[in-house]
Structure 1
Amino acid sequence: MIAQPIIHFHGAAGTVTGSCFLLEHDGNRVLIDCGMFQGSKTEKELNYRPFPFAASQINAVVLTHAHIDHSGLMPKLVKDGFDGPIYATAATLDLCTIMLADSAHIQEMEVEHLNRRNQRRAREPVTPIYTTTDAAVCMTQFQAIAFQAWHEVVPGIRFRFWNAGHLLGSASVELEVGDGGNRQRILFSGDLGPSNKLLQFDPEAPTGWDYIVCESTYGDTTRSEMSEEIRRSRLRDEVREAARHRDGALIIPSFAVERTQELLADLIILMERHEIASCPVIIDSPLAARASQIFQKYARVLQNGDALVRAMRSRNVRFTESAEQSKAIDSLHGFHIVIAASGMCEAGRIRHRLRNWLWREEGTVLLVGYQAAGTLGRILSDGATIVKIQGDDIMVRARIRKLDVYSGHADGTELESWVKARLPVRKAVFLVHGELEALAGLRQRLSGYLRPDQIVEPRLDAAYRLDAKGVVDISQAAPPPRIDPVQAGHRDWHNDVQALILDLQEQLASAADEKVRGVIIRRIRRALSDQLDQVGER
């Protein structure tokens, strides 16, 4: 009997981050992506847990692109015993060189700060997921593969890359598994870019598949018609409104790679056209500065690459490298724009910028990318009036604005068009990399082209056998999921506790007097006591 491939969804299943798909065939194991989980604390804790497979038994990794939610756990994979090749495009290799080192540095710094707090609390020290040394070792296993060039991973499995239009070097992965009449064709979309990207050409890939694994980040969203001029006009309006405060600042949390470069190019174009007043534009991210140099290297293969190079040379643009240069931003007078990572406000220098500006009415925070459930960016986007940053409660008085015209992801209509252009699909489409509403939205869109049983929404750690006749769910025979699937892609109890504490503090602060505050506290204690008694009776 001929063995059929098995696919495991160890990330980006019911949630947006942690992309990691394990393909098994004829005793070989290949990973497509090995990304870091972001979002709620429950999901991020998965980064510290053991992999749900033996790293030493993985033959190879095929990487779609450099974003940390797709590449960020590869140093851990190597640290845990993986010694095979990591296949990626040349640009992805270059970006991972800086991005994985930066990820490791952030982990080392955050663990150092946490251990200082733990020492004061008499708690055990923790170790980072991996170190800068681990990241450097990981990079020695990368191999650059050209777009559209077939490469055999192991006997019986070969692949080639197709432009995904999402990020410099981003790719969809075409896989052929098996031989002769038993060959199956599988397409992993990776992250797909929208049609209005400034620097990337539109996604492409062949037609006619057995299986497609398709991202669905914005599967329930239809954006308005977009063009370069419409995109810039909307950015222009946001900048003009923010600049009404002469001593204010426009703070833009942004992914350091691609989003920052797109924003920078458009801002300088608007200044050159005198559509916005000239002002300092500070890129407060060493990673973004290094990434911009890589983008310059590949400018000839980018759309509008010349505009990016011109923007980087503008006298209005300043990159900060050292911590001292970053801190000096706080002493600036007059309106200025700061672009800082991370895009979801979860780490990096953006936390300091927000801590300095959120409480000030003359500040504007412009969210320009996807904000995963449980992140600070999502909490701000949802209208929080007080947030906790680095242990401090910060009132939100700044204007919080959202501008979705710089998204790196295709919307629901574009995802539908991309899948439609790949037809026929003989067996099934797996919907991944999306929260529940997005998954449901894309399922509805595809229902006009595929039967209901052809559209599969895997849960975290689910497993499927790719039979000759179709997909077979074998999750019951696989190890149990690492977390309850309903916890993926949602706020968790940590978020709820923080929100409760902040709400309580706000209510107590606004109470009429000490007597009313005392009543509130006693009622809360009584409710907690009653709940504990009920739990004890069970």
Structure 2
Amino acid sequence: MRITFNGATHTVTGSQHLLEVNGKTIMLDCGLFQGKRKESFERNRSEFCTGKNIDCLILSHAHIDHSGRIPCLVRNGFTGDVFCTSATRDLCAVMLMDSASIQEKDVEFVNRRRQKQGQQPFEPLYTRADVARTMNQFVGLSYNRPHQLFPGIVLTLVDAGHMLGSAHVVLEIEEQDSGKKRRVVFSGDIGRPDVPIIRDPVPISAGADILIMESTYGNRVHPDFPESEKELERIVNETVSRGGSLLIPAFAVGRTQQLVYALHKLHSKRAITDLPIFIDSPLATRTTDVFRLHPEVFDDEIREFLLTDDDNNPFGFGRLQYTQSVEQSKALNSMKNPVVIISSGGMLEGGRILHHLRNRIEDPRNTILFTSWQAPNTLGRRLVENEKLVRIFGEEFQVRARVEVLTGFSGHADRDGLINFVRVMNKKPQQTFIVHGEDDASASLTDALRNELGLENIVIPDYMQSFDV
């Protein structure tokens, strides 16, 4: 058995791992690289976006850093099945089409400039037509129902509690040559317990022989979710007291719905000032509709809320408005009174949030609130690291708005949660690969697994590194 790591090594984006066994090649995730534009552009078009030699793909969840290159595989010859949960398939139908639209628009913009310079035009990584063809290859599976991929290889998806439809990947493999039986577990992104909306992550109590494990917050402990809701209450009220507006860059899937639900509860309790709240992201609007289609994954808190809330809708209430058109989005920038605007994209590398940021970043009354991890070399990362002069749409702006960070809304397990993911395994892995984390986080988690749980044979793989196991 050979495992090759083609992404999410020493970083948190571009998740993609190849498992070769019994004459078959199985891809685990196929995500877009995000971050420094030139590097991401080149990596996303690398040879590993070819798909002719891939027999099937298993997708842990719909986030673009895990799913965003699947249409590229199909465009370049992949004809196999994409296995995931039904909720992940429904989200990908929306998210990948949005990603393709962005690809097309970005290339169109770049090509106008290249044409003036007499350079060859670029092609988009994939198009909306590629996405439409790709969705025919998705196969939705239910949690905890084993499915034979090939002779001697059985797949089971287990609820990872990270976002709607997210899964741990469990592969029971009997190797043809040796007859050896081994369990390979790919954690995907591990969720947090006691976070509203979706159910808690399900432990892999049977354990693993080989573990591929994320480490996003391997060196950090999150505050409890109720503390973060209290902090959100403080930030809203302090911003309004200054006469300012609150801008929240948020990913359209997961984080936006969490924030809407938290604001809904605070508004119902009259804990925050009564002010307009806008979701300015067409993708967030469409993915919220997908959330409504999958109540089977909701946790008990949401079910109870639905029974007692007058609006009977965790993702909608009287002061909340979902914008649709560009004109509605532009109108938000002319509002003088305090508002809350939740808008894409989450790392400030594109999306409508940049227009709102440009209009409000130099006003000290306003607040910019980050609730997600920010990749290196992104505008979001620069603001989190307190840079005072930034460029937006090629113009320089002084950062006078207040910048706040809340990690308690994260859908990722923290250091303690990651360690506990392995602690509860009855059979500890003989070989562990640490991925999906920056160097400090991966190293900290590796030390903890060695020192606290006695794990041996832990490796932080390099980009494109292969291992025979």
Q: TM-score range by the shorter chain?
A: over 0.9
TM-score (norm 2): 0.94
Distance 2:42 2:428 in 1: 33
Kindly provide the amino acid, as one letter, of the partner of residue 210 in structure 2.
Y
Once the 2 structures are TM-superposed, how far is the Cα of residue 362 of structure 1 from its aligned partner? 2.0
* Structure 1 pair 206–51 and aligned structure 2 pair: CA distance change class (3 A): farther
Instruction: Determine helix, strand or coil for the equivalent of 1:347.
Output: coil
Report what 1:478 is aligned to.
none
Instruction: Determine helix, strand or coil for the equivalent of 2:27.
Output: strand
Distance 1:292 1:223 in 2: 25
Report what 2:362 is aligned to.
359
Query: Greater CA deviation, 207-216 or 89-98?
Result: 207-216
Provide structure 2 residue ranges, at least 5 long, that are not aligned to the other structure. 307-311
The RMSD of aligned alpha carbons is 1.7
Report what 1:233 is aligned to.
230
* Structure 1 pair 449–313 and aligned structure 2 pair: CA distance change class (3 A): closer
Q: 1:296·1:305 contact (CA, 8 Å) conserved in 2?
A: no
Distance 1:125 1:196 in 2: 49
Distance 1:443 1:41 in 2: 30
Provide structure 1 residue ranges, at least 5 long, that are not aligned to the other structure. 467-538
Once the 2 structures are TM-superposed, how far is the Cα of residue 377 of structure 1 from its aligned partner? 0.6
Q: Are residues 1:203 and 2:223 paired? A: no
Once the 2 structures are TM-superposed, how far is the Cα of residue 435 of structure 1 from its aligned partner? 0.5
Instruction: Determine helix, strand or coil for the equivalent of 1:153.
Output: strand
Once the 2 structures are TM-superposed, how far is the Cα of residue 41 of structure 1 from its aligned partner? 2.8
Report what 2:309 is aligned to.
none
Q: 2:164·2:297 contact (CA, 8 Å) conserved in 1?
A: no
Distance 2:118 2:397 in 1: 27
- Identical amino acids, percent of aligned pairs: 39
Q: 1:47·1:129 contact (CA, 8 Å) conserved in 2?
A: no
Report what 1:101 is aligned to.
97
Q: 2:242·2:365 contact (CA, 8 Å) conserved in 1?
A: yes
Distance 2:457 2:426 in 1: 13
Which portions of structure 1, spanning 4 or more consecutive aligned residues, are displaced by more than 6 angstroms?
none
Per-residue CA deviation, residues 330-362 of structure 1 (Å, 9 max, x unaligned), is 122311000011111111111111111112222
Report what 2:450 is aligned to.
447
Q: 2:450·2:456 contact (CA, 8 Å) conserved in 1?
A: no
Instruction: Determine helix, strand or coil for the equivalent of 1:429.
Output: strand
Q: Are residues 1:456 and 2:459 paired? A: yes
Report what 1:348 is aligned to.
351
Q: 1:85 aligns with which of 81, 85, 95?
A: 81
Distance 2:362 2:390 in 1: 10
Kindly provide the amino acid, as one letter, of the partner of residue 58 in structure 1.
I
Distance 1:192 1:253 in 2: 22
Report what 2:125 is aligned to.
129
Distance 1:53 1:168 in 2: 26
Once the 2 structures are TM-superposed, how far is the Cα of residue 123 of structure 1 from its aligned partner? 3.4
Report what 2:392 is aligned to.
389
Once the 2 structures are TM-superposed, how far is the Cα of residue 312 of structure 1 from its aligned partner? 3.2
Kindly provide the amino acid, as one letter, of the partner of residue 200 in structure 1.
I
Report what 1:322 is aligned to.
325
Distance 2:187 2:42 in 1: 24
Kindly provide the amino acid, as one letter, of the partner of residue 194 in structure 1.
R
Query: Greater CA deviation, 436-445 or 34-43?
Result: 34-43
Report what 1:289 is aligned to.
285
Report what 2:241 is aligned to.
244
Instruction: Determine helix, strand or coil for the equivalent of 1:115.
Output: helix
Once the 2 structures are TM-superposed, how far is the Cα of residue 322 of structure 1 from its aligned partner? 1.5
Q: 1:420·1:449 contact (CA, 8 Å) conserved in 2?
A: no
Q: 2:410 aligns with which of 402, 407, 412?
A: 407
Instruction: Determine helix, strand or coil for the equivalent of 1:220.
Output: coil
Per-residue CA deviation, residues 288-311 of structure 1 (Å, 9 max, x unaligned), is 001111111113431243548524
Distance 2:414 2:39 in 1: 25
Kindly provide the amino acid, as one letter, of the partner of residue 16 in structure 2.
C
* Structure 1 pair 341–91 and aligned structure 2 pair: CA distance change class (3 A): same
Per-residue CA deviation, residues 448-478 of structure 1 (Å, 9 max, x unaligned), is 3555742111011110111xxxxxxxxxxxx
Report what 1:175 is aligned to.
171
Q: 1:47·1:73 contact (CA, 8 Å) conserved in 2?
A: no
Q: 1:301 aligns with which of 294, 297, 306?
A: 297
Report what 2:135 is aligned to.
139
Q: 2:112 aligns with which of 92, 110, 116?
A: 116
Q: 2:199·2:297 contact (CA, 8 Å) conserved in 1?
A: no
Q: 2:70 aligns with which of 71, 74, 86?
A: 74
Distance 2:100 2:242 in 1: 38
Q: 2:422 aligns with which of 419, 423, 447?
A: 419
Kindly provide the amino acid, as one letter, of the partner of residue 206 in structure 1.
S
